[in-house]
């Protein structure tokens, strides 16, 4: 898994088993790696690249992923049947029926000697869907104890069951904004929310951001860099002008939490929170305070702690398993596509 926050590559080795129509999983090994700074710089300007430059980036990224996968698989005692890969999102414009996650599946398959499954989003967009979020199929089938699942990656996204129907959507920006703010003083991210912890929330900024059209729309809906650059960030810059960095950090955390709480009204039980934002203590405190009284944050056991960083990678492995077996892995009720379908391209070595 490689997400929009560009913080690195997450790998899990997982085993899946179906017993009486119920799926079980076990994470056997997990490992995260960071990207070289030069590669991060290239990914950040990928949307402005020429076609030839983008091909070079896809080639470089695919070699990078394959090299780290070979090391990871070489360290494993278990045999591996297949590899599923998300790719790196460059464009996501479902309203124009286009989305692009680059990954040379054939190159990766050839280099690791295993079948590789990827390109999970484009089929859904072609069927009129948002191409996102895709993780809720895993939430429904693998995480049945929790009432809702929240992921705090580059963007925040949520899924839960309501009256027997799966509800899922992207909520707002998350780490993509927080990390950009931290970058203003040369930090990759705000460790533990240290900057935000000494800042003050500006309610007028929250009120102004809440007026964005996206937050007034019902799902299915999804977000990409384009929305952030064209709609969110210009408004954020205008509303937060003159504020110090600590206050902007605290207000950003409060905005993220506000959207979580707003979209979980009427849900009861426990909320599973994963993704890099779950390590930000201030953000988690803000989310806890914003939740309705009927919800509480699920306390992960010691064995479950790796889900914080690796849940998305685990679920994309599961999407690959479903694709391998020819079963639907994308649900129309979540993405808005014309029908449920089995998404993903398989490349053989």
Chain segment 139-178, per-residue pLDDT in tens: 999 999 999 999 999 999 999 988 878 899 999 999 999 9
Report the CATH number of the 9-130+313-347 domain.
3.30.420.40
Helix or strand or coil: residue 66?
A: helix
Q: What is the mean pLDDT of residues 217-221?
A: 89
What residues does each domain of the chain span?
A: 9-130+313-347, 146-297
What integer pLDDT is reported at residue 231 of this predicted model?
Answer: 97
Distance in angstroms (rounded) separating the CA atoms of residues 280 and 145: 24
**23 DSSP β-pair partners:** 18
What's this model's pTM, rounded to 2 decimal places?
0.91
Q: Picking from 5-19, 108-122, 245-259, 272-286, which range would have the lowest pLDDT averaged per residue? A: 5-19
Report the candidate in 97, 81, 99, 98 with the shortest Cα–Cα distance to residue 89.
99
Phi, psi of 89 (to 5 degrees): -70, 125
| Tokens read off for 113 | 């000697």
Average pLDDT, the chain: 95
What integer pLDDT is reported at residue 112 of this predicted model?
Answer: 97
What integer pLDDT is reported at residue 303 of this predicted model?
Answer: 86
User: What's the CA dihedral at 63, 64, 67, 71 to 10 degrees?
Assistant: -160
Question: Angle CA(157)–CA(167)–CA(324) in degrees, nearest 5?
Answer: 80
**Domains 9-130+313-347 and 146-297 belong to one CATH topology:** yes
> Mind giving me the DSSP string for 203-265?
HHHHHHHTTSHHHHSPSS----HHHIIIIIHHHHHHHTTT--HHHHHHHHHHHHHHHHHHHTT
Q: Given the structure tokens 């992923």, which residue do they identify?
A: 65
Question: Angle CA(34)–CA(311)–CA(44) in degrees, nearest 5?
Answer: 40
What integer pLDDT is reported at residue 338 of this predicted model?
Answer: 97
Instruction: Look at 7 and 317; give whichever has higher pLDDT.
Output: 317
Q: Which CATH class is domain 146-297?
A: alpha beta
What integer pLDDT is reported at residue 259 of this predicted model?
Answer: 98
How does pLDDT run across 312-326, given as a tens digit for each residue? 999 999 999 999 999
């Amino acid at each position: 898994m490689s997400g929009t926050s560009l913080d690195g590559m997450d790998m899990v080795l997982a085993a899946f088993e179906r017993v009486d129509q119920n799926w079980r999983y076990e994470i056997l090994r997990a490992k995260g790696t960071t990207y070289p700074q030069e590669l991060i710089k290239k990914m950040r300007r990928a949307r402005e690249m020429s076609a030839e430059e983008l091909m070079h980036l896809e080639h470089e990224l695919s070699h990078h992923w394959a090299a780290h996968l070979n090391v990871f698989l070489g360290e494993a005692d278990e045999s591996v049947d297949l590899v599923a890969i998300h790719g790196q999102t460059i464009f996501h414009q479902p309203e124009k029926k286009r989305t692009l996650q680059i990954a040379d599946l054939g190159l990766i398959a050839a280099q690791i000697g295993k079948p590789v499954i990827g390109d999970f989003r484009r089929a859904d967009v072609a069927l009129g869907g948002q191409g996102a979020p895709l993780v809720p199929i895993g939430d429904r089938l693998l995480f049945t104890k929790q009432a809702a699942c929240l992921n705090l990656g580059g963007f925040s996204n949520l899924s839960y069951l309501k009256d027997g129907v799966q509800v899922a959507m992207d909520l707002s920006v998350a780490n993509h904004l927080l990390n950009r703010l931290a970058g203003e003083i040369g930090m990759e991210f705000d460790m533990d929310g240290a900057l935000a912890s000494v800042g003050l929330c500006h309610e007028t900024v929250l009120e102004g951001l809440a007026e964005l059209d996206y937050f007034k729309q019902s799902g299915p809906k999804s977000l990409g860099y384009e929305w952030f650059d064209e709609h969110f960030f210009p408004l954020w810059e205008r509303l937060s002008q003159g504020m110090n960095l600590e206050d902007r950090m605290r207000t950003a955390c409060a905005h993220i939490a506000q959207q979580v709480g707003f979209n979980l009204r009427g849900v009861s039980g426990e909320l599973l929170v994963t993704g890099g934002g779950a390590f930000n203590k201030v953000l988690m405190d803000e989310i806890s305070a914003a939740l309705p009284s009927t919800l509480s944050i699920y306390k992960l056991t010691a064995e479950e702690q790796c889900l914080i960083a690796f849940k998305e990678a685990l679920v994309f492995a599961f999407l690959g398993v479903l694709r391998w077996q020819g079963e639907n892995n994308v649900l129309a009720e979540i993405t808005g596509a014309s029908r449920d379908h089995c998404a993903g391209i398989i490349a053989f070595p």
